[in-house]
Structure 1
């Protein structure tokens, strides 16, 4: 059977940000960042760059670069930039962030993407990621880092319900993470964490369009594969990391 694009399962169309981040929190983060009047902003693992575009809208004259390896998300970002009259001030580039030479800059966004700065053949190393972020930002510059942490130590049963191979060493406590940021050469100017409401908005929004599509297309050739995928994703949240895994948003200032 031949299917058109309109027949295919949708992808992330119901999300504003690719993470548990509300509009209200994003606005406050952007206001703090814009107050420093950065001239250049780098978004690592930018996706479609919604936060980057909002920073540029609130920082007249600033230019931005978003890097990611997902071509579909980058195309969405370029389209959004065009719609908002920002196409001349932002570039969306398909490339790896590992060892990037796109610094130093005045401000960096890295939300849920610090793994892009680490050796993919090694376990994720937040300390290495923070050292890279410090290398890429000028003294006095800002980094907004969105990073996972354990709200509490997960049980064996909860770990078994998470992603394949999940273990207690996959994340740190919030205190340990902030200590690493200080060791890397930052001062933690603002520390905040995603609320349960933000998590639920994200997790439901992540699957919403696909769930609606599955209800309308139960016999589609891609339905079984899609259903298995979203059911597995939902289970890892509900039976694994819900109220165990947290996300912190750290506004870090590079020590001069």
Structure 2
């Protein structure tokens, strides 16, 4: 069995999260206005936002860290295609306790769990403390973090991911308060809209769904179909209840 026999992975996504082109452009413009010399992307995936930030901030250099080798290889290829290979490094390593700071700008979109002890429940306060440690005075952090649009009911939680509880996320005001307590000022607060979520969630599965339709009897079809059906059911469960906020944070001097 060759790679061509296998279902494709995430090829229809530009960003690994519910993030529109227009929102990404505005985020990058705000980051670039601070003239960062060094940029760190935690849980970078293939680093699309990192690469665009480097393009918008001439002379800057960046490091993207992740534990997914396939995504990192995609990032290196795209960096080479865009003439950025000499300004960016994609590294396969854990972000837990990383020494890759302090830097001028940090991207951490949907990846704050990488900064937390994996043996404990996810703790946004601990992640924010780490981000504060890793950013220089006068720098910027863009944090993409899940939050409850409203407190979910038990029935709603049962339709989400296995073991979902109301304690898995905070409400947005609580999350913003945690950022302030960690030593930041929330310079910009925005949240993904329904269209961004639908673009992401559908794009996440699109290539695989098309592959399943074309290969219903493939040896991997049953396993792949079950996985994708679970993912879709989870989204249907948290759709309109789980949000994601993008916080542009400035450390207090």
Q: Secondary structure at the match of 2:137?
A: strand
Q: Please state how far the C-alpha of 1:25 moved relative to its aligned partner.
A: 0.3
CA distance in 2 between counterparts of 1:215 and 1:243 reads: 28
Q: Secondary structure at the match of 2:50?
A: helix
State whether structure 2 residue 4 is matched by structure 1 residue 10.
Answer: no
CA distance in 1 between counterparts of 2:2 and 2:99 reads: 40
Runs of 4+ in 1 over 6 A off after TM superposition: none
Q: Which residue of 1 aligns with 2:252?
A: 255
> Matches of residues 83-232 of structure 1 in structure 2 within 5 Å?
83-232=81-230
Q: Please state how far the C-alpha of 1:106 moved relative to its aligned partner.
A: 0.3
Q: Secondary structure at the match of 2:108?
A: strand
Structure 1 spans left out of the alignment, 5+ residues: none
Aligned residues: 253
Residues 100-155 of structure 1: CA deviation (Å, up to 9, x unaligned): 00000000000000000000000000000000000000111100000000000111
Q: CA RMSD in A?
A: 0.4
Structure 2 spans left out of the alignment, 5+ residues: none
CA distance in 2 between counterparts of 1:157 and 1:237 reads: 14
Q: Secondary structure at the match of 2:222?
A: helix
Q: Please state how far the C-alpha of 1:157 moved relative to its aligned partner.
A: 1.1
CA distance in 1 between counterparts of 2:77 and 2:31 reads: 24
Q: Which residue of 1 aligns with 2:242?
A: 245
CA distance in 1 between counterparts of 2:112 and 2:78 reads: 24
Q: TM-score, normalised by structure 1?
A: 0.98
Q: Please state how far the C-alpha of 1:44 moved relative to its aligned partner.
A: 0.2
Residues 54-103 of structure 1: CA deviation (Å, up to 9, x unaligned): 00000000000000000000000000000000000000000000000000
Q: Which residue of 2 aligns with 1:25?
A: 23
